[in-house]
Amino acid sequence: MAEHRLPDLPSRVGPCEFGEFGKLVTVRCPKELAHILQRAGAVWEPGSRRWLVQRRRIGPVIRSLERATDPLFRHAGIDLDGRD
């Protein structure tokens, strides 16, 4: 059986912050980006105002958020998150 490697979790992508909550990933982001999380099956937690996403679904969420945030800077090769 092939072992699937889960992506490393960045602390943030653009305006979105990531964290861990047991086996889930927490995401705080502006409501304009909520559609990306909803597509991944995320659940809104109103008390703490954050989204809960299954760890196995976070890779596509991160890639979508990277494409959606600051597309002109990313197209030019400038990473606003400070990663090389």
Q: Strand 43-45 to strand 16-21: parallel, antiparallel, or no bridges (unpaired)?
A: unpaired
Q: Which of 41, 47, 51 is nearest to 16 (CA)?
A: 51
Residue 3, in any domain of the structure? no
Number of structural domains found in the chain:
1
Residue 7, in any domain of the structure? no
Kindly tell me if the per-residue pLDDT of 4 is higher than 80.
no
Separation in Å, CA 31 to CA 19, 37, 83 = 18, 10, 25
| 26 neighbors 34 (Cβ within 8 angstroms) | no
Residue 34, in any domain of the structure? yes
pTM of the model: 0.76
CB atoms within 10 A of CB 23: 9
Domain interval for residue 63? 13-75
pLDDT (tens digit per residue) in 11-54: 998 889 999 999 999 999 999 999 999 999 999 999 999 999 99
Which token pair is 72?
Answer: 């002109």
Q: State the pLDDT at residue 34.
A: 96
Residue 81, in any domain of the structure? no
